Structure 1
Amino acid sequence: MGCVDARHVALLRDLLASTPWVERAEDLARGLRRTRSPGGLMLLGTPDDEPWHLAAHLDDEARYADLPQLSPSLVRWEPPPGAPAHLRIGLERLEDARRGHTLFVVNEAPEAPVPLLERVDDARRSGATVLSLDQGDPELTSIAHEAVSLSPSGDPVTFEGMQHLVSSAAGQAEDRRRGGLRDRLSRLLDLVSGPRPAD
Protein backbone atom coordinates (compact mmCIF):
# COMPACT_ATOMS: atom_id res chain seq x y z
CA MET A 1 0.00 0.00 0.00
CA GLY A 2 1.43 3.35 -1.00
CA CYS A 3 1.97 6.27 1.34
CA VAL A 4 -1.04 8.20 0.01
CA ASP A 5 -3.29 5.12 0.19
CA ALA A 6 -2.29 4.37 3.79
CA ARG A 7 -3.07 7.95 4.83
CA HIS A 8 -6.33 7.79 2.88
CA VAL A 9 -7.40 4.63 4.72
CA ALA A 10 -6.50 6.07 8.13
CA LEU A 11 -8.51 9.21 7.39
CA LEU A 12 -11.41 7.20 6.02
CA ARG A 13 -11.53 5.03 9.14
CA ASP A 14 -11.63 8.15 11.31
CA LEU A 15 -14.43 9.67 9.25
CA LEU A 16 -16.47 6.46 9.38
CA ALA A 17 -15.77 5.60 13.03
CA SER A 18 -19.34 6.34 14.11
CA THR A 19 -20.88 4.29 11.28
CA PRO A 20 -21.15 0.51 10.77
CA TRP A 21 -19.00 0.57 7.61
CA VAL A 22 -15.61 -0.05 9.25
CA GLU A 23 -16.98 -3.12 11.01
CA ARG A 24 -18.60 -4.33 7.80
CA ALA A 25 -15.27 -4.01 6.00
CA GLU A 26 -13.53 -5.94 8.78
CA ASP A 27 -16.14 -8.72 8.58
CA LEU A 28 -15.48 -9.10 4.85
CA ALA A 29 -11.73 -8.98 5.46
CA ARG A 30 -11.99 -11.85 7.97
CA GLY A 31 -13.69 -13.89 5.26
CA LEU A 32 -10.75 -13.22 2.94
CA ARG A 33 -8.24 -14.28 5.60
CA ARG A 34 -10.02 -17.61 6.02
CA THR A 35 -8.77 -18.69 2.58
CA ARG A 36 -6.76 -21.79 3.42
CA SER A 37 -3.79 -21.68 1.07
CA PRO A 38 -1.90 -19.53 -1.45
CA GLY A 39 -3.71 -19.50 -4.78
CA GLY A 40 -7.06 -20.14 -3.14
CA LEU A 41 -8.38 -16.57 -3.37
CA MET A 42 -10.05 -15.72 -6.67
CA LEU A 43 -11.08 -12.15 -7.49
CA LEU A 44 -13.79 -11.67 -10.10
CA GLY A 45 -15.34 -8.55 -11.58
CA THR A 46 -17.69 -8.08 -14.51
CA PRO A 47 -16.80 -8.41 -18.20
CA ASP A 48 -16.68 -4.60 -18.40
CA ASP A 49 -14.99 -3.80 -15.10
CA GLU A 50 -12.12 -5.90 -13.75
CA PRO A 51 -11.00 -5.06 -10.18
CA TRP A 52 -7.32 -4.38 -10.97
CA HIS A 53 -6.93 -1.80 -8.22
CA LEU A 54 -8.25 -4.11 -5.51
CA ALA A 55 -6.12 -7.00 -6.79
CA ALA A 56 -3.00 -4.83 -6.46
CA HIS A 57 -3.89 -3.76 -2.91
CA LEU A 58 -4.60 -7.32 -1.77
CA ASP A 59 -1.31 -8.44 -3.27
CA ASP A 60 0.48 -5.68 -1.32
CA GLU A 61 -1.28 -6.70 1.90
CA ALA A 62 -0.29 -10.33 1.34
CA ARG A 63 3.37 -9.27 1.20
CA TYR A 64 3.32 -6.76 4.06
CA ALA A 65 1.43 -9.06 6.43
CA ASP A 66 3.13 -12.29 5.30
CA LEU A 67 -0.27 -13.80 4.45
CA PRO A 68 0.31 -15.38 1.02
CA GLN A 69 -3.26 -16.67 0.86
CA LEU A 70 -4.39 -13.02 0.44
CA SER A 71 -2.63 -12.69 -2.91
CA PRO A 72 -5.53 -13.09 -5.35
CA SER A 73 -5.85 -14.72 -8.73
CA LEU A 74 -7.53 -12.08 -10.87
CA VAL A 75 -10.02 -14.08 -12.93
CA ARG A 76 -10.64 -12.42 -16.29
CA TRP A 77 -13.48 -12.89 -18.73
CA GLU A 78 -11.36 -12.65 -21.87
CA PRO A 79 -7.65 -12.66 -21.01
CA PRO A 80 -5.40 -11.88 -23.97
CA PRO A 81 -3.30 -14.91 -24.96
CA GLY A 82 -0.03 -12.97 -24.93
CA ALA A 83 -0.46 -11.59 -21.40
CA PRO A 84 1.86 -12.65 -18.54
CA ALA A 85 0.74 -15.82 -16.73
CA HIS A 86 -0.81 -13.99 -13.76
CA LEU A 87 -2.91 -11.88 -16.16
CA ARG A 88 -4.01 -14.82 -18.28
CA ILE A 89 -6.27 -16.50 -15.70
CA GLY A 90 -9.61 -17.11 -17.35
CA LEU A 91 -13.03 -18.29 -16.21
CA GLU A 92 -11.89 -21.92 -16.31
CA ARG A 93 -10.16 -21.18 -12.98
CA LEU A 94 -13.59 -21.08 -11.36
CA GLU A 95 -14.18 -24.69 -12.42
CA ASP A 96 -11.45 -25.71 -9.96
CA ALA A 97 -13.12 -23.91 -7.04
CA ARG A 98 -13.59 -26.12 -4.00
CA ARG A 99 -13.87 -26.07 -0.22
CA GLY A 100 -11.15 -23.90 1.28
CA HIS A 101 -11.16 -21.56 -1.71
CA THR A 102 -12.67 -18.09 -1.67
CA LEU A 103 -14.33 -16.29 -4.55
CA PHE A 104 -14.47 -12.53 -3.99
CA VAL A 105 -16.88 -10.88 -6.44
CA VAL A 106 -16.72 -7.14 -7.04
CA ASN A 107 -19.60 -5.57 -8.94
CA GLU A 108 -20.12 -1.83 -9.07
CA ALA A 109 -23.07 -2.05 -11.48
CA PRO A 110 -26.63 -2.02 -10.04
CA GLU A 111 -27.18 -5.57 -11.32
CA ALA A 112 -24.70 -8.35 -12.00
CA PRO A 113 -24.87 -9.89 -15.48
CA VAL A 114 -26.53 -13.29 -15.59
CA PRO A 115 -23.34 -15.13 -16.73
CA LEU A 116 -21.55 -13.80 -13.65
CA LEU A 117 -24.33 -14.95 -11.33
CA GLU A 118 -24.25 -18.41 -12.92
CA ARG A 119 -20.47 -18.74 -12.49
CA VAL A 120 -20.63 -17.56 -8.89
CA ASP A 121 -23.44 -19.96 -8.06
CA ASP A 122 -21.48 -22.86 -9.60
CA ALA A 123 -18.43 -21.99 -7.49
CA ARG A 124 -20.54 -21.89 -4.35
CA ARG A 125 -22.06 -25.30 -5.17
CA SER A 126 -18.52 -26.64 -5.58
CA GLY A 127 -17.74 -25.65 -1.98
CA ALA A 128 -16.02 -22.28 -2.39
CA THR A 129 -16.82 -19.48 0.03
CA VAL A 130 -18.37 -16.55 -1.86
CA LEU A 131 -17.84 -12.98 -0.72
CA SER A 132 -19.19 -9.95 -2.54
CA LEU A 133 -18.83 -6.22 -2.63
CA ASP A 134 -21.64 -4.70 -4.66
CA GLN A 135 -23.97 -1.77 -5.18
CA GLY A 136 -27.08 -3.35 -3.70
CA ASP A 137 -27.56 -6.25 -6.12
CA PRO A 138 -30.04 -8.57 -4.34
CA GLU A 139 -29.30 -11.62 -6.49
CA LEU A 140 -25.56 -11.47 -5.97
CA THR A 141 -26.04 -10.80 -2.27
CA SER A 142 -28.32 -13.84 -1.96
CA ILE A 143 -25.62 -16.12 -3.43
CA ALA A 144 -22.78 -14.75 -1.28
CA HIS A 145 -21.95 -16.15 2.15
CA GLU A 146 -20.86 -12.67 3.21
CA ALA A 147 -21.67 -9.44 1.37
CA VAL A 148 -21.20 -5.72 1.74
CA SER A 149 -23.73 -3.81 -0.33
CA LEU A 150 -23.51 -0.08 -0.90
CA SER A 151 -26.24 1.99 -2.43
CA PRO A 152 -25.25 4.01 -5.53
CA SER A 153 -26.05 7.17 -3.56
CA GLY A 154 -26.56 8.07 0.05
CA ASP A 155 -23.82 6.05 1.79
CA PRO A 156 -20.97 7.97 3.43
CA VAL A 157 -18.35 5.71 1.82
CA THR A 158 -17.66 5.30 -1.89
CA PHE A 159 -17.25 1.97 -3.66
CA GLU A 160 -13.53 2.63 -4.09
CA GLY A 161 -13.23 3.70 -0.46
CA MET A 162 -14.78 0.44 0.71
CA GLN A 163 -12.28 -1.52 -1.38
CA HIS A 164 -9.47 0.32 0.43
CA LEU A 165 -11.02 -0.43 3.82
CA VAL A 166 -11.47 -4.13 3.04
CA SER A 167 -8.00 -4.68 1.61
CA SER A 168 -6.22 -2.87 4.46
CA ALA A 169 -8.28 -4.69 7.10
CA ALA A 170 -7.49 -8.03 5.45
CA GLY A 171 -3.82 -7.59 6.26
CA GLN A 172 -4.27 -7.09 9.98
CA ALA A 173 -3.80 -9.99 12.38
CA GLU A 174 -6.91 -11.56 13.84
CA ASP A 175 -6.14 -10.35 17.36
CA ARG A 176 -5.57 -6.71 16.34
CA ARG A 177 -8.32 -4.15 16.11
CA ARG A 178 -8.49 -0.42 15.60
CA GLY A 179 -5.30 0.43 17.49
CA GLY A 180 -3.45 -2.40 15.78
CA LEU A 181 -4.45 -1.23 12.33
CA ARG A 182 -3.38 2.31 13.17
CA ASP A 183 0.04 1.00 14.26
CA ARG A 184 0.30 -1.01 11.08
CA LEU A 185 -0.62 1.93 8.87
CA SER A 186 2.04 3.96 10.65
CA ARG A 187 4.64 1.26 9.96
CA LEU A 188 3.60 1.14 6.30
CA LEU A 189 4.00 4.90 6.05
CA ASP A 190 7.48 4.59 7.55
CA LEU A 191 8.39 1.88 5.05
CA VAL A 192 7.18 3.94 2.10
CA SER A 193 8.64 7.24 3.31
CA GLY A 194 12.03 5.77 4.25
CA PRO A 195 14.07 6.47 7.36
CA ARG A 196 13.40 9.71 9.15
CA PRO A 197 16.26 12.21 9.48
CA ALA A 198 17.97 12.38 12.86
CA ASP A 199 17.00 15.29 15.11
Structure 2
Amino acid sequence: MDPEPRPAADIPSAADRATATDLIAAVEDALAAAQAAAPTAPAASFRDPVPAPAGPVGDALPVPQPGRPPMSQRATDASVVMLAAGAGTLMAGTGAGVALWALAGVDPVTLALAAGAPVAVVAALTRLVRRAGQAAQQAAPVTHHHTYAGPVTQTHTHRTHTQARGMFARSTTDARH
Protein backbone atom coordinates (compact mmCIF):
# COMPACT_ATOMS: atom_id res chain seq x y z
CA MET A 1 0.00 0.00 0.00
CA ASP A 2 1.20 3.39 -0.88
CA PRO A 3 1.06 6.06 1.79
CA GLU A 4 -1.36 8.80 1.12
CA PRO A 5 0.27 12.03 0.01
CA ARG A 6 0.26 14.61 2.80
CA PRO A 7 -1.12 18.05 2.17
CA ALA A 8 1.40 20.88 1.96
CA ALA A 9 0.11 22.45 5.20
CA ASP A 10 1.25 19.42 7.26
CA ILE A 11 4.87 19.48 6.05
CA PRO A 12 7.04 21.52 8.44
CA SER A 13 9.07 24.32 6.99
CA ALA A 14 12.83 24.66 7.36
CA ALA A 15 12.35 27.31 10.05
CA ASP A 16 10.09 24.99 12.06
CA ARG A 17 12.66 22.19 11.81
CA ALA A 18 15.42 24.51 12.97
CA THR A 19 13.32 25.65 15.95
CA ALA A 20 12.59 22.03 16.90
CA THR A 21 16.28 21.12 16.67
CA ASP A 22 17.22 24.08 18.86
CA LEU A 23 14.54 23.09 21.42
CA ILE A 24 15.79 19.47 21.55
CA ALA A 25 19.38 20.67 22.01
CA ALA A 26 18.31 23.02 24.84
CA VAL A 27 16.46 20.20 26.66
CA GLU A 28 19.48 17.86 26.35
CA ASP A 29 21.82 20.60 27.68
CA ALA A 30 19.50 21.20 30.65
CA LEU A 31 19.34 17.46 31.48
CA ALA A 32 23.13 17.16 31.28
CA ALA A 33 23.58 20.18 33.60
CA ALA A 34 21.03 18.77 36.11
CA GLN A 35 22.78 15.40 36.18
CA ALA A 36 26.17 17.05 36.73
CA ALA A 37 24.83 19.20 39.60
CA ALA A 38 22.82 16.42 41.32
CA PRO A 39 24.63 14.39 43.97
CA THR A 40 25.24 10.80 43.08
CA ALA A 41 22.69 8.39 44.48
CA PRO A 42 23.99 6.12 47.25
CA ALA A 43 24.69 2.58 46.28
CA ALA A 44 22.22 -0.09 47.32
CA SER A 45 24.96 -1.95 49.18
CA PHE A 46 28.56 -1.39 50.12
CA ARG A 47 31.21 -3.86 51.20
CA ASP A 48 34.19 -2.36 52.98
CA PRO A 49 37.33 -4.12 51.74
CA VAL A 50 39.24 -3.32 54.95
CA PRO A 51 39.10 -6.25 57.42
CA ALA A 52 37.59 -5.60 60.84
CA PRO A 53 40.03 -5.14 63.73
CA ALA A 54 40.80 -8.21 65.83
CA GLY A 55 40.22 -6.76 69.29
CA PRO A 56 38.70 -3.76 71.02
CA VAL A 57 39.77 -0.47 69.51
CA GLY A 58 40.02 2.77 71.43
CA ASP A 59 39.32 3.64 75.02
CA ALA A 60 35.89 5.27 74.66
CA LEU A 61 33.10 3.92 76.84
CA PRO A 62 30.12 2.26 75.18
CA VAL A 63 27.23 4.59 74.43
CA PRO A 64 23.68 3.48 75.27
CA GLN A 65 21.66 3.02 72.11
CA PRO A 66 18.07 4.22 71.75
CA GLY A 67 15.20 1.76 71.97
CA ARG A 68 14.63 -1.33 74.09
CA PRO A 69 17.77 -2.71 75.73
CA PRO A 70 18.95 -6.16 74.65
CA MET A 71 17.47 -8.92 76.79
CA SER A 72 17.63 -12.68 77.02
CA GLN A 73 14.90 -14.73 75.35
CA ARG A 74 13.42 -15.59 78.74
CA ALA A 75 13.25 -11.91 79.73
CA THR A 76 11.71 -11.03 76.37
CA ASP A 77 9.06 -13.72 76.80
CA ALA A 78 8.31 -12.55 80.33
CA SER A 79 7.94 -8.93 79.21
CA VAL A 80 5.53 -9.98 76.46
CA VAL A 81 3.44 -11.91 79.02
CA MET A 82 3.44 -8.89 81.35
CA LEU A 83 2.33 -6.57 78.53
CA ALA A 84 -0.46 -8.98 77.55
CA ALA A 85 -1.60 -9.31 81.16
CA GLY A 86 -1.63 -5.54 81.49
CA ALA A 87 -3.80 -5.23 78.39
CA GLY A 88 -6.14 -7.90 79.73
CA THR A 89 -6.36 -6.14 83.09
CA LEU A 90 -7.14 -2.89 81.31
CA MET A 91 -10.00 -4.51 79.41
CA ALA A 92 -11.38 -6.24 82.51
CA GLY A 93 -11.20 -3.00 84.51
CA THR A 94 -12.94 -1.07 81.76
CA GLY A 95 -15.67 -3.71 81.59
CA ALA A 96 -16.15 -3.61 85.36
CA GLY A 97 -16.30 0.19 85.30
CA VAL A 98 -18.94 0.18 82.58
CA ALA A 99 -20.94 -2.46 84.48
CA LEU A 100 -20.79 -0.45 87.71
CA TRP A 101 -21.77 2.71 85.86
CA ALA A 102 -24.76 0.88 84.37
CA LEU A 103 -25.73 -0.55 87.78
CA ALA A 104 -25.58 2.83 89.54
CA GLY A 105 -29.38 3.03 89.72
CA VAL A 106 -29.92 -0.48 91.12
CA ASP A 107 -30.97 -1.06 94.72
CA PRO A 108 -27.83 -1.86 96.82
CA VAL A 109 -29.45 -4.87 98.53
CA THR A 110 -30.44 -6.40 95.19
CA LEU A 111 -26.95 -5.75 93.85
CA ALA A 112 -25.34 -7.40 96.90
CA LEU A 113 -27.57 -10.45 96.60
CA ALA A 114 -26.90 -10.79 92.87
CA ALA A 115 -23.13 -10.46 93.38
CA GLY A 116 -23.01 -12.75 96.41
CA ALA A 117 -25.21 -15.54 95.07
CA PRO A 118 -22.65 -17.07 92.69
CA VAL A 119 -19.99 -17.02 95.39
CA ALA A 120 -22.33 -18.71 97.85
CA VAL A 121 -23.26 -21.40 95.30
CA VAL A 122 -19.60 -22.15 94.56
CA ALA A 123 -18.79 -22.32 98.28
CA ALA A 124 -21.73 -24.67 98.94
CA LEU A 125 -20.77 -26.97 96.04
CA THR A 126 -17.16 -27.09 97.23
CA ARG A 127 -18.25 -28.05 100.73
CA LEU A 128 -20.63 -30.70 99.34
CA VAL A 129 -17.90 -32.30 97.22
CA ARG A 130 -15.46 -32.29 100.14
CA ARG A 131 -18.02 -33.93 102.47
CA ALA A 132 -18.84 -36.56 99.81
CA GLY A 133 -15.14 -37.40 99.46
CA GLN A 134 -14.71 -37.71 103.23
CA ALA A 135 -17.78 -39.94 103.49
CA ALA A 136 -16.47 -42.20 100.73
CA GLN A 137 -13.12 -42.54 102.53
CA GLN A 138 -14.77 -43.40 105.85
CA ALA A 139 -17.27 -45.84 104.33
CA ALA A 140 -14.70 -48.32 103.01
CA PRO A 141 -12.34 -49.52 105.74
CA VAL A 142 -8.80 -50.31 104.66
CA THR A 143 -8.08 -54.03 104.95
CA HIS A 144 -4.58 -55.48 104.71
CA HIS A 145 -4.03 -59.14 103.89
CA HIS A 146 -0.50 -60.52 104.32
CA THR A 147 0.67 -64.06 103.79
CA TYR A 148 4.08 -64.97 105.17
CA ALA A 149 6.17 -68.12 105.09
CA GLY A 150 8.65 -68.14 107.93
CA PRO A 151 9.43 -65.93 110.94
CA VAL A 152 8.24 -62.35 110.44
CA THR A 153 8.68 -59.22 112.53
CA GLN A 154 6.10 -56.53 111.78
CA THR A 155 6.37 -52.99 113.13
CA HIS A 156 3.58 -50.49 112.65
CA THR A 157 4.25 -46.82 113.41
CA HIS A 158 2.07 -43.78 113.07
CA ARG A 159 3.78 -40.41 112.64
CA THR A 160 1.96 -37.09 112.37
CA HIS A 161 3.73 -33.90 111.39
CA THR A 162 1.87 -30.61 111.74
CA GLN A 163 3.20 -27.27 110.58
CA ALA A 164 1.62 -23.82 110.93
CA ARG A 165 3.21 -20.70 109.46
CA GLY A 166 2.29 -17.18 108.44
CA MET A 167 0.33 -14.32 109.95
CA PHE A 168 -2.89 -16.19 109.29
CA ALA A 169 -1.78 -19.68 110.21
CA ARG A 170 -2.46 -22.43 107.72
CA SER A 171 -2.03 -25.87 109.22
CA THR A 172 -1.00 -28.85 107.15
CA THR A 173 -0.98 -32.32 108.63
CA ASP A 174 1.06 -35.11 107.09
CA ALA A 175 -0.06 -38.49 108.45
CA ARG A 176 1.92 -41.48 107.26
CA HIS A 177 1.09 -45.03 108.21
Q: Which bracket does the TM-score occupy, shorter chain normalised? A: under 0.3
Structure showing greater relative contact order (alpha-carbon pairs closer than 8 Å, 6 or more residues apart) = 1
State which structure, 1 or 2, has the greater radius of gyration over its C-alpha atoms.
2
